[in-house]
Structure 1
Amino acid sequence: MAAVGGTAVQDHVALAEIELCGELIIAASAAEDRLSLESIDEVLRVERQERDS
């Protein structure tokens, strides 16, 4: 039996991952071709660090 009184548990990390997946799906569906790695990084808000050789 479910508890009464609003005892819902939220996993904030999981919710953030679901939101990012949704944004990636939207970007992919709007693109005419496959998304580049740079486009994927932009959608997922990933910053690439340049390595000095």
Structure 2
Amino acid sequence: MSVAPVVAAVQDHVALAEIELCGELIIAASAVPEGRLSADRIDEVLRVAEALPGGSDGKDRT
């Protein structure tokens, strides 16, 4: 019987990025007195505008 080798430093970079974004959402949500984040605030926390074409604010400039 053989035992599979132990890999000490396996990292899933996508999963780590998702965990970081979830943490940022939790922190942002805890700072909102009314208890809910607006869609605009969620986009801001998740940096959606940075990923969209057309500029840093996400608005299409055509």
Could you tell me which runs of 5 or more consecutive residues in structure 2 were left unpaired when the two chains were aligned: 50-56
Displacement, 1:3?
4.7
Is residue 22 of structure 1 aligned with residue 23 of structure 2? yes
Unmatched 5+ stretches in structure 1: none
Cα 1:2/1:31, change in 2 over 3 Å? farther
Q: Of the two, which has the highest radius of gyration?
A: 2
Q: How high is the sequence identity, in percent, across the aligned residues?
A: 70
Q: Say which structure, 1 or 2, has more relative contact order (CA 8 Å, 6+ apart).
A: 1
**Aligned twin of 1:13:** 14
Quote the offset at 1:17 in angstroms: 0.3
Letter in 1 for 2:48: V
**TM-score under structure 1 length normalisation:** 0.75
**TM superposition outliers: structure 1 runs of 4+ over 2 Å:** 1-6, 48-51
Aligned to 2:39: 37
Compute the displacement of 1:2 (Å): 7.9
RMSD of aligned Cα (Å): 2.1
TM norm structure 2: 0.65
